Structure 1
């Protein structure tokens, strides 16, 4: 079978209009703008109101990406939704398919938390490389504000809501240059959005667990140490698979978790600060949405040009982490 190449030809984003800044947050828990911004780099975050559906926000990002790519919704063969916070536990990708009118597309959800976009990028590429599909829509979207304990100042300061999407198309050239994916379930307890079923007696002899999820819990120090050690390693491996070095990278777009992590990873990779894309000050940690959100912002500003080499890396719950190296555009 002849292998087909991949081009990433369009991006799009959508974020809530309601913003919560650090000063407002300090009225909910004992914290301050100076404390949050100095330790995380975050100054505000967008929050989805009760009437906002994840599928609606994701669909808006998808429509923007489709428009940039110059394709029609009916051209899309596959939709992958990377999310941990679907509207429906049975999956929300099909709702996006219906909302954007991608009537010929198959759609499914993929869950890998903050690594979801990178895992989705690699998954989408396999369908194109094997010649199965020509046009794939990948969207990372999360509404973590619905699963945050707003009395826990360790976690509530971090998370925001958003969606970001890209269009991948079959191409004569292969612009996905290399990747590396990793998982370590032994570290799962460091970051959780865990199910804790409540006992429910059906008969005197049979008791089942009734579904219920706890708020997000996180060991921040564990996650920081994990990210600073593992993310540079996985980026270097992806670059090796690409036949490149860090010096060849035009832009580094990491999962937007914490500015200290971004700075430490870039320093270990010897990538200068002016090549590091950061927008978490305005959005917070948007999980699977963070990389495509940051990508779309700099593409639309003209900072990223066609042919630029971009190194991405996601890391988070699972624990999962991964890196993908690609050229932007055709």
Structure 2
């Protein structure tokens, strides 16, 4: 059998501060208006925490889930690092007691988890690593303009992490083929024009160029199209039919986007896992957070065929498949 990357540990972390839709009443946005258009009722925002702080929380739990801290490499997918330089991953690895292992950041916005899985899988398949801790973490709230009705209610904070180990490609948890893509002509859809998360967490003054801006309608259309096309491609390459997929865990950007993707794929709503109602859009972290919650709820069980798909700023997108393994959550 061919060497493969196998999912062997999983965790999620959400900051303790809960921000309900009522928080946005001053923007003349009602709970009904927000929930109807986005599917979000509440979200979590950090207070005094940076991206590396919540990365350590998720990473520690993933190592407990795996049952070992014998790790060769750490990857951190984030669009909101502590600093523009240096990378946050080495600091996270150090705080987790992982010594001098190689560590680096990866930035692919809401597609970061798929890009990171593909990168980690390649490193394991080619023998460059045996065990990788891969964390996706974001403090998106620190990049928001609190007066922007288009973005303030949507984006949120959180972290998720997985441990991948070397194994064989017929094992449960073995990552299948990947489809990745990008289109730089769509960079204007989601953009922070100009300022990392540590400065923002410490209350440094920022101008309007440091806030996230979004073109919602155009983003919606492109997200549905690209996620559907990418998902179809990996399904066809694996020889899976849509009705053979037990659960689709997509990037949690908007409930209506996920429902539209399910419609395009011919997959019933009950097989589209959605948890955005209480998490909001945590950018790169949405999928590992959703996977963790799906396991805890019993919606995701060993042997299930799972489709992962995402679309994000850049624009970037990606998809992959796996059969769900036995995983013990910490």
Q: TM-score, normalised by structure 1?
A: 0.91
CA distance in 1, matches of 2:137, 2:90: 14
Map residues 22-41 of structure 1 onto 2, 5 A cutoff.
22-27=21-26, 29-41=27-39
**Cα distance per residue 1:190-246 (max 9 Å; x no partner):** 1101228xxxxxxxxxxxxxx995211110000001011111100011112222221
Q: CA deviation at 1:25?
A: 1.8
Residue 293 of structure 1, CA deviation: 0.3
Offset at 1:310?
Answer: 1.0
Matched, 1:60 2:57: yes
Is 1:179 paired with 2:174?
no
Matched, 1:102 2:102: no
Equivalent residue number for residue 15 of structure 1: 14
Deviation string, structure 1 residues 92-150 (Cα, Å, up to 9, x no partner): 01111011111252110000000000000000000110011111111111001111111
Distance in 2 separating the partners of 1:309 and 1:55? 32
TM-score (norm 2): 0.91
Note the 1:1-330 alignment, pairs <5 A. Answer: 3-27=2-26, 29-49=27-47, 51-71=48-68, 73=69, 75-90=70-85, 91-174=87-170, 175-195=174-194, 213-329=209-325
> Conserved in 2, the CA contact under 8 Å of 1:139 and 1:165?
yes
- Number of the residue aligned with 1:201: none
8 Å contact kept, 1:82–1:141: yes
Q: In structure 1, what is the Cα distance between the partners aligned to 2:34 and 2:154?
A: 9
Distance 1:156 1:68 in 2: 33
What SS class does the counterpart of residue 210 from structure 2 fall into?
coil
* Matched-pair contact (CA < 8 Å) for 2:145–2:208: no
Match of 1:240, SS state, is: helix
* Unmatched segments (≥5 aa) in structure 2: 196-206
* Aligned counterparts of 2:208 and 2:122: Cα–Cα separation in 1: 35
Give 1:10 deviation, angstroms. 1.3
State the superposition RMSD in angstroms: 1.7
Q: Is the 8 A contact 2:179 2:320 kept in 1?
A: yes
Instruction: Decide whether the 8 Å contact of 1:58 with 1:139 is kept in 2.
Output: yes
Which is greater in Rg?
1
| Secondary structure, aligned partner of 2:257 | helix
Is this contact kept in 1: 2:2–2:169, CA < 8 A?
no
Question: Secondary structure of 1:167's partner?
Answer: strand
Correspondence for 2:198? none
